[in-house]
Chain A
Amino acid sequence: MRLISLLALTLLAGIQTAEADEKMADTCLRTKIWDGYGEGWAVRTATTASLAQGEHRVYLVTLYAGNEYKLQVCGDDSATDIDLVLHDAEGVELVRDQTNDREPVVTYKPANTETYYVVLYAGQVAEGQNAGVAMAVTYK
């Protein structure tokens, strides 16, 4: 049985009242998460945000030494460039996605168990619109 059909409707709270753009981002992310299971990735957390151009979100995340982490993002059609950056607890930038698109991915294997900062930044979004952005922290 796959509950994913049900989860598709409910993966992230508030989806029944969410903007269509967040649904789009969520659907894209869900597909990536599901594909990841086949490669041994599991989910720490998935969350959504709505970002206008130039806006950002910062997430605190505890990463275990020895585990490998993959941060995955999907933006909706109104976004053409979403950036994803990982910083250590001191704010030092560790990894930055190297793409210029709305589906950035970053992988990182920490040497120490620490708290890190994940930054989502809306680099390019259609004028006057908010982009629906979904992000997952996955690990293996």
Chain B
Amino acid sequence: MAPRWILLSLSLLVGCTGEEQPAEQPAEQPAEQPATPDVQFNPDTLKADAENVTLVPSPAEMQRALANAGLTSELASMVSDKDIGTDVENLDQVAVRTGVILAEVVLTLKDAPKEKLVPRLESMKAGFVKLGAGDDIPPTIDELISSINNDLNREDLLDDVDLLSGAMVPELETEAGDWVVPLIQAGSWLEGAHLVSGAIESESKFDAAGSLLRQPEVVEYFLKYVQREGGDKAPDEVVKQLEATLVKLKEIASKPSLSEEDVKEIHAATGAVLSML
């Protein structure tokens, strides 16, 4: 770390329970300013203060990880043709469905026919509207629909959808509550995990399963919101199935390594939720 010229502030000592340890003093220092030590954070502080906004990998990132692990499957080609709507009463389910569709859009934007893509975008927009997603995302989706209908270059739209998925959705503040984003992310992650486990199975690359599917903290994060208490949470069969699936995935993810049977179980469990949508 480059030298700094301020003393460690009192507020740091209050704000961080970590053990502060001074860095080595650089050889040459201007005489009038003392070097500031690198601030150290201990594990307890990290764990206590951690926020989950950056925790969940995106479906596009899963595709990248798949390729980097040596698998040749294209997740886009494995996305089901089934139309998933968002016209349901239960808002938890609306959020999950919106997330699944978002994953499908991210993965298939480049090559899907507009007759398939535009209805997906319209369903996704309806989901965001139903969740009270504010004034920003729906017009952005309208712009995308217009561009696709006008046959604009899909390559040019990839980065826009990436920003929608990676920047706008995670920071979304909805009328419904703070559980909305985690459940949208759960839908996207569920779709991604289903496709990745299917790819591992079809290529019999089970040794890659641990690095591609073993994410216990992600599963726990979703479970916390699925199992939350609250007046806005009505009983729902899809949500019950989602909870059962996440409990199963948590059990599998707690293993030190994943077997062929584990991969098949992940694929079946995630598929059980998706088939209900």
**Chain A residues near B (Cβ < 8 Å):** 1-4, 6-7, 9-14, 33-34, 37, 42-48, 52-62, 64-67, 81, 83, 85, 87, 90-91, 93, 96-100, 112-113, 115, 117-119, 121, 123-124, 135-137, 139-140
Contact = CB atoms under 8 A, between A and B. Distances in A.
B140 A6 contact: yes
Given A6-B143, A7-B168, A43-B162, A117 B50 contact: yes
Contacts of B275: none
Contacts of A52: 11
Q: Which 10 A-B pairs have the closest CB atoms?
A: A91-B43, A66-B68, A43-B166, A54-B11, A10-B136, A54-B12, A64-B65, A46-B167, A100-B2, A54-B9
B211 A12 contact: no
Interface in B193-243: 210-212, 214-215, 217-218
A135 B166 CA distance: 12
Given A10-B136, A137-B54, A58 B11 contact: no
Contacts of A93: 40
A37 B157 CA distance: 12
Given A45-B170, A98-B2, 18 more contacts: A1-B143, A6-B136, A13-B134, A42-B162, A44-B57, A44-B166, A46-B167, A47-B171, A54-B13, A56-B16, A60-B52, A64-B61, A64-B62, A81-B4, A97-B1, A112-B211, A117-B41, A123-B39
A124 B46 contact: no
A58 B160 contact: no
Contacts of A91: 41-43, 46-47
Given A1-B152, A46-B166, A59-B50, A13 B171 contact: yes
Chain B's interface size range is: 35 or more
Max chain B CB contacts within 10 Å: which of A6, A9, A37, A99?
Answer: A6
A121 B212 CA distance: 31
Contacts, number: 206
B251 to A, nearest CB: 18
A126 B53 CA distance: 27
B68 A3 contact: no
Nearest to A91: B43
Contact of B160 (A7, A62, A97, A124): A7
Given A2-B160, A100-B3, A117-B50, A58 B41 contact: yes
A59 B170 CA distance: 13
B51 A11 contact: no
B136 A57 contact: no
A70 to B, nearest CB: 13
Given A54-B9, A67-B68, A90 B43 contact: yes
Contacts of A59: 50-55
A34 B211 CA distance: 29
A52 B10 CA distance: 12
Interface string B146-182: 0100001000110110111111101111000000000
10 contacts: A4-B160, A7-B163, A7-B168, A44-B61, A45-B53, A65-B68, A91-B46, A115-B55, A117-B41, A118-B54
